[in-house]
Amino acid sequence: MNSNTSVQVINCGKTFEDGTQALQPINLEIKGGETLVLLGPSGCGKTTLLRIIAGLETLDAGGQVLFNGEDVSHLPVEKRNIGMVFQSYALFPNMTVRDNIGYGLKVRRQSLADRQTRIQEMLAMMHIENLAERQISQLSGGQRQRVALARAIAVRPKVLLLDEPLTALDALLRERLRVEIDTLLRSLGITAIYVTHDQSEAMALADRIVVMSNGRIAQQGTPREIYQQPSNSFVADFIGTANKINGRMTDQGFEVEGVVLPKSILNVVGGNSTSANPIQTQAIFRPEDTEIVSQDQAHFNGQVASTFFMGDRTRLLVDGISESPIIVETTFKQEISIGTEISIRIKDQGLMLLPDELIEDLPKEIVEKTEQ
Ligand SMILES: Nc1ncnc2c1ncn2[C@@H]1O[C@H](COP(=O)(O)OP(=O)(O)OP(=O)(O)O)[C@@H](O)[C@H]1O
Ligand SMILES: [Mg+2]
């Protein structure tokens, strides 16, 4: 199988006829066999980028797409040897499962015997042997999605493109299929680009995540890097929950309205936070990096404004610390009532400084959001 095709996106921008600039010129490299996830809010350009890689969308002048170093920018979709799976299945409703899976093989004029062998392999791989003779209209959503995957993989594509393939399914099924897709992509060793706006899906599947905003790349990195070293406020907010505080870095630590948060709580994993940067003004910490402590150990004191019981933990909104309430999580079993005075500590390495210098490079609406 052609399992190790790399994809390079060079300077790829897209302006639609009505003037909408869906993609600013983007550069991106996907290694052979890698699973890359494009993650971002609705309208940020994920599908457009995927369609450009597929050859379903033309490029603005100056852009290029390379497969294994070879320029495919002018090759039509059917010559690029890709498999595609979409949110809306795009199966032939009145054909059987078997014929849907075999469709691409037939188009490629494979012999009947070869086709049947391959279809059987696909049915087994997706655990849908018992559905082979059914029509698509007689299947559930999860079953259809398996057929769509089987059909995409049947032709042994060089690159597999998936655009929100699980969005139409319920939470439990999503999770199960997500695990199956992960196993499948790893066993095939295929180069895959997976679009989603669901961050937990992205974290679970990705070797690397590209966070997009407004037609640009806001950050790319491993799931761990994106979560633990967000390079701007947009990414910090989009992946997980982030409490934001404004202050200033001094030799003693991060100073917020007269309180100095010691250097021991700075996250030094990313290197962003190691040097004392006098112009540093923004820091974030995640709810799970907080703990409720006695007053003498506290970094902040505040009052509980609301509580959300989430089963394994309780989420508290705490007033009196920052302009907007701070979100704290606790595994205390007892109920905490609204109005309770609590003392909060940020765990060691829980405070992440956001590098201000990157703000200039970001789109206008992110800068505005960051400056709030
Ligand atoms: N054919 C088109 N003509 C004009 N504008 C378009 C066209 N297709 C998409 N757009 C615009 O381009 C931008 C990016 O769209 P795209 O479909 O790539 O977003 P997306 O990130 O996939 O969003 P979603 O998560 O909602 O699927 C949007 O502002 C969209 O309105
Ligand atoms: Mg889309």
Helix spans in 94-170 (H): 97-107, 112-125, 141-154
Question: What's the confidence (pLDDT) of residue 270?
Answer: 47
- Any residues with CB less than 8 A from the CB of 319 and at least 6 apart, and which? 302, 303, 304, 305, 325
Query: Above 50 in pLDDT, residue 340?
Result: yes
Q: Rounded CA gap, 309 and 328, in Å?
A: 12
Share of the chain above pLDDT 70, in %: 91
Beta strands 191-196; 208-213: pairing state: unpaired
pLDDT at position 278 is: 53
Q: What is the pLDDT of residue 279?
A: 60
What is the Å distance from ligand 1's center to 68 Cα?
Answer: 28
Ranges 112-121, 147-156, 214-223, 339-348: which has the least confidence = 147-156
Contact between 15 and 60 under an 8 Å Cβ cutoff? The reply is yes
**C-alpha distances in angstroms, 306 versus 292, 327, 340, 345?**
15, 10, 10, 19
CA nearest 177: which of 119, 128, 120? 128
Nearest CA to ligand 1 atom 30: 43
Q: For atom 31 of ligand 1, which residue has the closest CA? A: 43
Quick one: which atom of ligand 1 is closest to the CA of 40?
Answer: 21
- Nearest bound ligand to the CA of residue 23: 1
Say yes or no to pLDDT of 307 above 70. Answer: yes
Ligand 1 pocket residue status of 216, Cβ below 6 Å: no
Is the distance from the beta carbon of residue 353 to the nearest atom of ligand 1 less than 6 Å?
no
pLDDT digits (tens, 9 = 90+) for 22-70: 999 999 999 999 999 999 999 999 999 999 999 999 999 999 999 999 9
Query: Is residue 197 in contact with ligand 1, taking CB distance under 6 Å?
Result: yes
Q: How many whole angstroms from 44 Cα to the centroid of ligand 2?
A: 8
List of domains in the chain: 7-228 (3.40.50.300), 242-371 (2.40.50.140)
Q: Name the CA dihedral angle for 316, 321, 324, 327, rounded to a multiple of 10 degrees.
A: -20
The best mutation among 46, 88, 201, 211 to test binding of ligand 1, ranked by most ligand atoms within 8 Å of the C-beta, falls on 46
pLDDT band at 151 (very low <50, low <70, confident <90, very high): very high
DSSP assignment of 191-249, as one string? EEEEEES-HHHHHHH-SEEEEEETTEEEEEE-HHHHHHS-SSHHHHHHSS--EEEE-EE
Task: Give pLDDT, residue 356.
Answer: 56
Rg (CA), the chain: 24
Sign of the C-alpha dihedral, residues 103, 109, 112, 113?
Answer: negative
Band of pLDDT at residue 371, cut at 50, 70 and 90: very low
Amino acid 208 reads: R
pTM attached to this predicted model: 0.85
Distance (Å) from CA 202 to ligand 2 centroid: 15
Q: If you average pLDDT over residues 304-323, what whole number do you get?
A: 93
How many angstroms separate the most distant Cα atoms in the chain? 77
Tell me if 332 CB under 6 Å of ligand 1. Answer: no
- Is 42 close to ligand 1, i.e. is its CB under 6 Å away? yes
Lowest mean pLDDT among 79-83, 103-107, 364-368: 364-368
Tell me if 37 CB under 6 Å of ligand 1.
Answer: no
* Confidence band, pLDDT 50/70/90 cuts, at residue 192: very high
pLDDT at 280: 58
Q: Which residues fall within 8 angstroms of residue 281, CB to CB, at 6 or more apart?
A: 246, 247, 248, 356
Q: What are the φ/ψ torsions at residue 290 (nearest 5 degrees)?
A: -115, 155
Whether the pLDDT of residue 369 is over 50: the answer is no
Mutational test site, ligand 1, from 14, 16, 198, max ligand atoms within 8 Å of CB = 16
Name the β-bridge partners of 14: 23
How high is the mean pLDDT of the chain? 88
| Residue located nearest, by CA, to atom 19 of ligand 1 | 43
pLDDT, tens digit, for every residue of 228-259?
888 888 999 899 899 998 888 888 888 888 88
CB 160 within 8 A of CB 86: no
